[in-house]
Structures are given as structure tokens and as C-alpha cells.
Amino acid sequence: MATTAQAKTNSKKEGKSYSKETYMFWFESMLLMRKFEEKAGQLYGMQKIRGFCHLYIGQEACAAGAVSALKKGDKYITAYRDHAHPLALGTSPNAVMAELYGKETGISKGKGGSMHIFDKEHHFFGGHGIVGAQVPLGAGIGFAEKYNKTGNLCICYMGDGAVRQGAFHEALNLAMLWKIPVIFVIENNGYAMGTSVKRTSNVHELYTLGEAYDIPSEPVDAMNVEAVHDAVERAAERARAGEGPTLLEFRTYRYKGHSMSDPQKYRTKEEVEEYKQRDPIEQVRKTILDKKIATEKDLDAIEQKVNAQVEESVRFSEESKFPDPSEVTRDIYAEPDYPFVTD
């Protein structure tokens, strides 16, 4: 693991090979995230999707590389930029899009919207709108896995702004003290909303924050899905061996604004274009073609499939109904006859 003196971002291991299935999963999964988010942005402009909406365009490798490195049964939790993770885990695009529409067929029954997507079947615990609130929850989920001796772990994502929350430090301290099987991931896209890391943090190498708690920590080139996979795989091995948490700083970039209302005046067009030259999807496409893992025709077929899935999700959402007003007090408390609901 990296130390304070080793600030170089870790890339993929030279010489390591990955299966055809893995490369094709990465390509299709990330392409689905990209096309889905592009359509969501378009629909937001048409006022089909309302409220807050945070797109994942550019950060797809952060989710796809983790899913390929972990196993079924592992748990996931993130902040409010949460459309892509469930898609990578296998949640139906129909259910995610319907949730953005606020329809009753949505994965959270139309009650969560863009920022509060949950999928129990695929072990996705949200989607949290309060900055940093999911960090202690991620530690708690990991503790439950340890307590129940499942052999599973929790991967907990947060943005670079969340590390300035006290809950972040409390969770890291307890996780290391109790050797909780949790992987903390800082998705550092350079800006907390519109404020750069250098303007909000005395520590610019965010992964070094874990060293205060003796947590193995490292920076990762998260524009490269192979590097993400490798880093998460190493962290998972530690967690399953009973060695506790890892802190990973995924150095990534979002090509769109913080949210749909962001004018992006805090960065230059040249900066965005520079990062677009490192597009994680195009990197995988190039590797697949260069290594003759698949042909252009194969990749075109995948793109057609993904486009059809996204269009179907729109049709499904348009045809679905909004929740009945009587649903407003349901799914709040576990007990349906809780006094505050029935009074």
C-alpha cells in the first residue's frame, strides 16, 4: 500500500491479464452507464425528470472496476451520484429510469428519486443525499457482515467533499479499531460541487487521510478500469483476511456539472477536454480492439443493445403511473401500524 511519501497514482499492474468476459463486461457496463446518463440529462432538460440530478458521466470505471473485483453478496453504498452503481450490479434500467421519473415502478417506488436509489436484491444500500452520511453506514454494514461471519464486505463510496465531515474520521477510526471489512472509496473528481480540493482541504493527497488511523491507503488512476479493479481486489483480499478496512482515493473526473443546474464556471473547457482524452470507455474499447478480444462489429452490436435498453427504459417510465397519494406514509417505518402513521 502507498505511504505519504509515495504519492504517485497507482495504475494497472503491468503484465497482468484479464479475461475476455471481464473486458466485455467493462465495456458493456460502462457504456450502459454513459448512455443512460446522457439520456437522463436530455430528459431532465425536457422536464421529464425533476428535482436534483447528478450524472456519472466520466466516472464509470469507478463502479465497473469495483463490481468486477468483488463477489456476489458484497454490499455497496454511495452518495447521491448513484444511478450507475446499481446498473453495474444488474438492476434493471427500467427500474432506475422509472425512479428518476418518480413513477411507482421505480426501484424505490418513485419515492426516492435520483438521489435515493436502493436495491436490496442486488445489495445496493443507496443513494444518500446528506454529504458524508453514508460513510458511518458503510462501516455499520461492514460490521454486520463481520458479526454474521458471512465473509462478505461493504464498499463505501463518497465524494472528495465528504472527507471534510467529522463522520468520515469517526468511521475510519472505528473501522480500523474493530477491523471491519469495509473498503472506503473517495471518488475525487477534483471538485466538491464547484470548489476545488485545494481550496477546501489542507491535505491535497486525500488518500493520506487514512494514515492517521493506520489504514492501508493508496491513490488510484480511476480513469482506468483495470487499475480500479486491481486496487479493489487488493483491498478485498485484506478485508476477507480479517485485516480490516482500506482507503482508496479514486482519481477521476466528471465531464458534466455537479448537478444539472451547475454552470461549471470554476473550470475551463480545456481542462474538461484534457480529461476526455482519458475517457475510460474509449480506453477499454482500444484495448479490446488492439488485443483482438472482439471486433468493431461485436462492439457495435453491444452499443445497439445498450441503446435499445435505454430507449426501453424511457418507454417503460413514460407508461408507468405516479404513486397513489395514499403511499406517502408507507415505507417509512418498519411497523405499518406505527403510532405516528396511524394517528
CA 342 vs CA 57, 228, 325, 330, 332: distances in Å: 43, 48, 16, 11, 12
- For the residues 84-88, what does the mean pLDDT come to? 97
Minimal CA–CA distance to 254: which of 166, 194, 341, 342? 194
Tally Cβ neighbours within 10 Å of residue 121. Answer: 10
- Distance from C-alpha of 156 to C-alpha of 165, rounded to nearest angstrom: 15
pLDDT digits (tens, 9 = 90+) for 34-57: 999 999 999 999 999 999 999 999
pLDDT digits (tens, 9 = 90+) for 205-237: 999 999 999 999 999 999 999 999 999 999 999
Q: Is 116 exposed, middle or buried (0-12, 13-18, 19+ CB in 10 A)?
A: middle
Backbone φ and ψ for 61, nearest 5 degrees, come out as -65, -25
**Residue corresponding to grid cell 480500479:** 228
| Class of 26-342 in CATH | alpha beta
- For the residues 323-330, what does the mean pLDDT come to? 90
- In Å, how far from its chain's centre is CA 87? 10
With 50 as the cut, is the pLDDT of residue 3 above it?
no
- For the residues 170-192, what does the mean pLDDT come to? 95
With 60 as the cut, is the pLDDT of residue 122 above it?
yes
Q: How would residue 2 be classed by pLDDT, with cut points 50, 70 and 90?
A: very low
1, 216 Cβ separation under 8 angstroms: yes
**Residue corresponding to grid cell 452507464:** 33
Tally Cβ neighbours within 10 Å of residue 223. Answer: 24
Ranking 212-221, 244-253, 307-316, 327-336 by mean pLDDT, the lowest is 327-336
With 70 as the cut, is the pLDDT of residue 150 above it?
yes
Ranking 63-77, 275-289, 321-335 by mean pLDDT, the lowest is 321-335
- For the residues 66-91, what does the mean pLDDT come to? 97
Neighbouring C-alpha atoms within 13 Å toward the C-beta of 202? 1
pLDDT at 15: 60
pLDDT at 13: 60
Residues paired with residue 250 on neighbouring β-strands, in sequence order: 187, 220
Helices (H) and strands (E) in the chain, counts: 12, 7
- For the residues 71-82, what does the mean pLDDT come to? 97
Q: How would residue 151 be classed by pLDDT, with cut points 50, 70 and 90?
A: very high
> Which amino acid type is present at position 217?
S
The DSSP letter of residue 10 is: B
Q: How would residue 258 be classed by pLDDT, with cut points 50, 70 and 90?
A: confident
With 60 as the cut, is the pLDDT of residue 277 above it?
yes
The DSSP letter of residue 111 is: S
Sign of CA dihedral 159, 186, 67, 281: positive
pLDDT digits (tens, 9 = 90+) for 184-196: 999 998 888 888 8
With 70 as the cut, is the pLDDT of residue 1 above it?
no
Sign of CA dihedral 193, 166, 140, 242: positive
Minimal CA–CA distance to 159: which of 125, 192, 127? 192
The arrangement of strands across the sheet holding 154-159 comes to 75-77, 154-159, 182-188, 246-251, 217-221
pLDDT at 23: 98
pLDDT at 12: 64
Neighbouring C-alpha atoms within 13 Å toward the C-beta of 48? 19
Minimal CA–CA distance to 183: which of 128, 147, 130, 220? 220
- For the residues 302-325, what does the mean pLDDT come to? 97
Buried b (16+ CB within 10 A) or exposed e, 302-334: ebeebeebbeebbebbeebeebeeeeeeeeeee
pLDDT at 275: 81
72, 288 Cβ separation under 8 angstroms: no
With 80 as the cut, is the pLDDT of residue 262 above it?
no
Q: What angle do CA 194, 195, 200 make, to 5 degrees?
A: 160
With 50 as the cut, is the pLDDT of residue 166 above it?
yes
pLDDT digits (tens, 9 = 90+) for 233-250: 999 999 999 999 999 999
